[in-house]
Amino acid sequence: MSIRITPLTDPDHTHSSRRLAWLASHPDGTPAGSAFLRLSSRPGQAHRAELNLTVHPAERRRGVGTLLLAAAVGAARDDDRSSVFAQVEAGSAGDLFLSVRDFRRVLTLTYARLPLAEIDPDELAEIVERPHPGYRLASWDGIVPDELAVTFAASRRAMDDMPMDETDYGTETWDVDRVRAVARAVGDRGDLLHTVVAIDESDGSIAGFTELVVRGDGRGDGQHYGTGVLPEHRGHGLGLWMKAEAIRQARERHPALDGLLTDTADSNRHMRAINDTLGYAPTHRAYGYQLDL
């Protein structure tokens, strides 16, 4: 079987990353698979590359994936990246494929789902209404209101020590422009971004946040993005409180929504405890693999 690997021009450039792409095809042009390599240019993450590689199910176990992988890893080396990261479902072909390469397993994530129909509204209300002296909840849709933008960007630091096991994740840097750009990108693709925050009443700054993305038509499953509480505000139950409020709002505002999806590193004990308390049930597990260059 002679397979040709063609580098493609990928228009998916953002202000903070670009993507390289390759197509694997037969001599007659029939596609067999593709690979994408995302190269971040953000300070603190410019050493990383993220790989997404797929071979058509009818073309597998014939070396196509190996050829695509070689092209992507070569490009990561040429770009002076020090690691290539890929995420695969546990027990999948991708898991088996990467485990026999030089990749090592660096992260275990559990995916969990909360079926909204099974929620007990009284139990949820009890959590949301529990007093948290010194804090209040606030929320918005889409882009952060101007008066909260500076402390919202500053609160993203809460994610810096999120357990990522052995993943060479680096540190993300945030500013007001970036939090606005992320929210704009979600809106531009037609989805709804709901953010709930806990505000420190002593100075009006944001102590923690949780983000939920719902399809524009309010159907299917919503996807939780980040939840974080700044280190100096941990231990007061703010994570559980904010996530409970996000669920309450989702139920109320999107009656056709089926469920909410979340994924958490197995080593993230505190976030997993919050998800368990709120009734999220594990659906599957995924692994992060990393190749150190």
Ligand X SMILES: CC(C)(COP(=O)(O)OP(=O)(O)OC[C@H]1O[C@@H](n2cnc3c(N)ncnc32)[C@H](O)[C@@H]1OP(=O)(O)O)[C@@H](O)C(=O)NCCC(=O)NCCS
List contacts with ligand X (CB under 6 A): 51-55, 60-66, 86, 88, 92-94, 96-98, 100
For the CB of residue 59, give the shortest distance to ligand X in the complex, in Å: 6
Nearer to ligand X, 75 or 158 (CB): 75
For the CB of residue 274, give the shortest distance to ligand X in the complex, in Å: 29
For the CB of residue 193, give the shortest distance to ligand X in the complex, in Å: 26
Nearer to ligand X, 65 or 239 (CB): 65
What tokens does 166 get?
């052995």
CA 244 to CA 278: how far, in whole Å?
A: 7
Nearer to ligand X, 14 or 66 (CB): 66
Strands across the sheet containing 259-265: 4-8, 17-25, 31-40, 48-55, 83-89, 281-292, 104-115, 259-265, 221-229, 205-214, 192-200, 135-141
Nearer to ligand X, 38 or 157 (CB): 38
CA distances from 291 to 74, 103, 260 (A): 12, 4, 32
Q: How far is CA 239 from the centre of its chain?
A: 17
Residues in the chain: 293
**Cα torsion angle, 187, 167, 81, 4, sign:** negative
End-to-end distance of the chain based on CA atoms, in angstroms?
30
For the CB of residue 25, give the shortest distance to ligand X in the complex, in Å: 13
For the CB of residue 8, give the shortest distance to ligand X in the complex, in Å: 17
Nearer to ligand X, 68 or 196 (CB): 68
State which residue has the least CB distance to ligand X: 94
